[in-house]
Amino acid sequence: MFAYRHAFHAGNHADVIKHAVALSCLKLMQQKEAAIMVADSHAGSGLYRIGEALMRGRGEFPNGLAKLWPHRSAQMPALVQDYLQSVIGFNQGRSLEWLPGSPVMLARALRSHDLLYAYEIHSSDYPLLETNLSDYGRRVKSFRTDGFQSVMSLLPTVSKRAMFLVDPPYEDKRDYERTFVMVREGLQRMSNTCFVVWVPMVARYDVERLLKRLQSLAGEKLRIDLCVQPAALDGLGLTGSHLLVVNPPFGLQALCEEALPWLFKKLSQTPFDQAKKRGVLAPHFKVSLQPPQPLQTFKPVRQPSLSQTVYQKTARPRSSPSGLPSKPRARSSS
């Protein structure tokens, strides 16, 4: 768990779709005046500079944000445009120098009465996170603790409005179970909470199991799948992202349906025809809305009363003088 550093993956294709959807969720929720409490369960250090030691030669941003940066002035879907405008705010000039993470992007998008709680347990990343969030005032707070355990203490909120970004690294297989428990308990505490859950698109049984369990929970769900590269022959590697938004704000589905074809075209690393010839999972995208699960009703079963209970008389076996059951006597033939 502590070997994971988000700097290796900052700005990759997973960050692009994850941050774009999270920002759009917040923007749509802000159409109402009531305050919003935002929580980032695994915040990282918040801001990453291209060329720093952790990213030198290992950064994944060339296959993500770097592909979108040349198109920042072109016409594009609103969801992507808002995301790139946020990235531009952290970069002075024409070159891409800084890769903003989710906590600083969400902090900059807050209104004066909104709140943000960012959690990071890594001993090296937390001091950087604290520094990067220090300019946003008292409405933005950071904590060095496990986001799985801490964010549940925030619910229910006074304003009854909250949004959680849940994006653990999933290097520890227990993260799949912790993610489900976190969302389930959060909905039990405040049923209208918006959860933006990121799940990696990898060849692992735990992925589909988590998605099915999350989809079985109460509330409306919007599922977003973006696969940008075919699966390797050995089944290893991150091929894309699953996003499951529980209680999505109105309008998010239309924004995603408009943006996914554009993002797929810019981020896809292997043409569909080539992947099909290789006989592996081809790049694809999909947006699907699942309506709220109906409440299950059970027909009560009438239990018989004590007077209606029928007792069946059974014969007790005969016992021998030794106390053991005696063998049946054989009939004599005459």
What's the token pair of residue 159? 């304003």
Closest CA to 270 of 19, 62, 63, 60: 63
SS3 of residue 270 by DSSP: coil
Amino acid identity of 293? Q
The count of residues in the chain is 334
Contact between residue 238 and residue 171 where contact means Cβ atoms under 8 Å apart: no
Amino acid identity of 194? C
The catalytic residue among 125, 167, 175, 225 is: 167
User: Nearest 5 degrees, angle CA 94-CA 95-CA 98?
Assistant: 120
Buried b (16+ CB within 10 A) or exposed e, 105-114: bbbbbbeeeb
Per DSSP, helices labelled H in the chain are 13-29, 65-68, 78-88, 102-109, 125-132, 147-150, 174-189, 205-215, 252-267, 272-278
Q: What span, in angstroms and rounded, lies between the C-alpha atoms of 140 and 206?
A: 33
> Residue 103 to residues 39, 44, 195: CA-CA distances in angstroms?
9, 8, 15
β-bridge partners, 330: none
Q: Catalytic annotation on 167?
A: yes
From the centroid of its chain, how far is CA 297?
A: 29
Q: What span, in angstroms and rounded, lies between the C-alpha atoms of 177 and 115?
A: 27
Q: What span, in angstroms and rounded, lies between the C-alpha atoms of 293 and 220?
A: 7
Place of tokens 């810019």: 266
Among all residues, which ones are annotated catalytic? 167
